[in-house]
């Protein structure tokens, strides 16, 4: 078995299915390949949550199709069926549903609604690897799904992504898109290995944010390989060399990082339960208890009145908070008109983006986080 076959086998074992997969340089490339394989282009519409990462609408726009944003349910931070249905027009070709923070959308209901109308469902599982929807592994219910293995995702290969589908015809077409991708250069593979090494051995709690800022600065200037190039944050044209395959080094890294996922999620759930119990006892916003069993808790969402001061206080208390999503189309702040986003249509997304911070679920220092929350209790909504 070569590195890719081995990786595929590990993923299939974890997902508990023998689905077909194609391996790409990033999750967004997998999404683009899926859209192309579905023959989506000018004149077509793709419905997606108005609370996502900018690279998702970008992939749609690169095909010439139009992203149609729907609002989220404030209880789940996912697009609900009603707002999706309201966004469907005769031009709708596909619906993207997301596993926001590790919680899947109401996949079964949305898939059934879409199928009745001849519309394809694509699951954005970039936060949801290893968690479930109605007891089934995320990524195995919708027509086709994509995953990301970027730094901050459920498991990481530095950067990376893959598509999953049970439909053999579609799988072939996606693999056809993969055939058209370039292979990463020697320099790119080498740099990625270096970054994985730095991340593993040199980044710790006290230097996390300075290191992240330094890395972003370097990657936005295109000096080192980044999660996003500056052109992806500024415009809607595909950057040069976008269509790229996963490297062998990434596939090897993937095998060892994906296997412990269920244990990792178990730990995250325990931490999340502690947060929920605490927040509930203080009558503050929290993830509803009935959502806990299927939630992967990549992040624990918390709404605060003033994010800026809350983040500052966290930094001095040495609590590492996340900042997903700062904006309905993260991380773009300001005018989202270029991406066709209408703030009027998505009030819940806009509000969530304004007040959101994420509590760490991978920390061994839960007590420190709880102490911090106790001290900041008045700022928590
Ligand atoms: C990270 C992310 C992506 C894209 O993943 P990449 O591998 O970075 O391209 C897509 N959707 C959401 C919701 C994400 O958070």
Concatenate the DSSP letters of all residues of 111-166 into one string: HHHHHHTT-EEEEE-TTTTT-EETTEETTSSSSEEEEE-STTSSS-SSS-EEEEES
Beta carbon of 56 within 6 Å of any ligand 1 atom: yes
Strand, helix or coil for residue 9: helix
Residue 27 Cα to ligand 1 midpoint, Å, equals 6
CA-only gyration radius of the chain, Å? 20
Whole-number Cα distances in Å, 354 to 131, 308, 321: 27, 10, 15
Task: Give the separation between CA 306 and CA 310, rounded to whole angstroms.
Answer: 6
Q: Which residues contact 192 (CB under 8 A, 6 or more apart)?
A: 158, 159, 184, 225, 247, 249, 250
Ligand 1 site-directed mutation target among 34, 126, 129, most atoms within 8 Å of CB: 126
* Ligand 1 atom with least separation from CA of 127: 15
Residue 222 Cα to ligand 1 midpoint, Å, equals 19
Position 221 scores a pLDDT of: 61
Q: Up-side HSE of residue 193: CA atoms within 13 Å toward CB? A: 11
Residue 334 Cα to ligand 1 midpoint, Å, equals 20
What is the per-residue pLDDT across 310-338, written as a single tens digit (0 to 9) for each?
999 999 999 999 999 999 999 999 899 99
* Ligand 1 atom with least separation from CA of 228: 8
| 264 upstream amide cis, omega within 30 of 0 | no
* 219, pLDDT greater than 90: no
Position 299 scores a pLDDT of: 96
Ligand 1 site-directed mutation target among 79, 139, 153, most atoms within 8 Å of CB: 153
* 202, pLDDT greater than 80: no
Question: What is the pTM assigned to this prediction?
Answer: 0.94
Reported as type and span, the H/E element at residue 268 is: helix 261-281
Position 198 scores a pLDDT of: 73
Position 16 scores a pLDDT of: 87
Give the range among 223-227, 231-235, 300-304 with minimum mean pLDDT.
223-227
| Residue 342 · residue 66 · CB < 8 Å | no
Q: Which residues contact 33 (CB under 8 A, 6 or more apart)?
A: 22, 24, 163, 174, 177, 178, 181, 243
Task: Give the separation between CA 35 and CA 96, rounded to whole angstroms.
Answer: 11
């Amino acid at each position: 078995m070569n590195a890719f076959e081995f990786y595929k086998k590990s993923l299939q074992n974890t997902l508990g299915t023998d689905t077909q997969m194609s391996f790409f340089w990033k999750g967004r490339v997998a999404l683009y390949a899926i859209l192309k394989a579905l023959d989506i282009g000018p004149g077509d519409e793709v419905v997606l949550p108005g609370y996502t990462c900018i690279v998702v609408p970008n992939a749609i726009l690169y095909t010439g199709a139009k992203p149609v944003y729907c609002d989220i349910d404030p209880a789940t931070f996912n697009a609900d069926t009603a707002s999706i249905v309201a966004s469907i027009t005769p031009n709708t070709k596909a619906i993207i549903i997301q596993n926001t923070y590790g919680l899947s959308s109401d996949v079964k209901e949305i898939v059934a609604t879409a199928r009745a109308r001849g519309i394809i469902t694509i699951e954005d599982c970039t936060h949801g690897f290893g968690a479930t929807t109605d007891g089934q592994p995320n990524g195995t219910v919708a027509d086709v799904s994509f995953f990301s293995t970027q730094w901050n995702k459920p498991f990481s290969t530095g950067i990376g992504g893959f598509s999953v589908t049970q439909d053999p015809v579609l799988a072939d077409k996606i693999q056809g898109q993969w055939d058209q991708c370039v292979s990463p250069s020697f320099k790119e593979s080498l740099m990625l290995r270096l970054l994985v090494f730095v991340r593993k051995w040199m980044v710790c709690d006290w230097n996390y944010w300075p290191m992240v800022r330094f890395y972003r600065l370097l990657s936005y200037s295109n000096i080192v390989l980044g999660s996003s190039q500056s052109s992806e944050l500024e415009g809607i044209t595909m950057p040069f060399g976008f269509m790229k395959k996963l490297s062998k080094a990434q596939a090897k890294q993937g095998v060892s990082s994906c296997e412990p996922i269920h244990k990792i999620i178990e730990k995250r759930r325990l931490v999340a339960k502690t947060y929920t119990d605490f927040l509930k006892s203080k009558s503050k916003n929290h993830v509803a208890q009935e959502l806990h069993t299927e939630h992967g808790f990549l992040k624990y969402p918390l709404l605060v009145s003033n994010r800026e001061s809350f983040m500052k206080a966290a930094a001095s208390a040495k609590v590492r908070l996340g900042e997903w999503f700062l904006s309905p189309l993260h991380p773009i702040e300001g005018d989202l008109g270029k991406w066709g986003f209408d703030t009027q249509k998505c009030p819940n997304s806009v509000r969530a983006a304004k007040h959101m911070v994420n509590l760490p679920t991978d920390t061994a220092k839960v007590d420190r986080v709880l102490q911090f929350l106790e001290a900041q209790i008045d700022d928590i909504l």
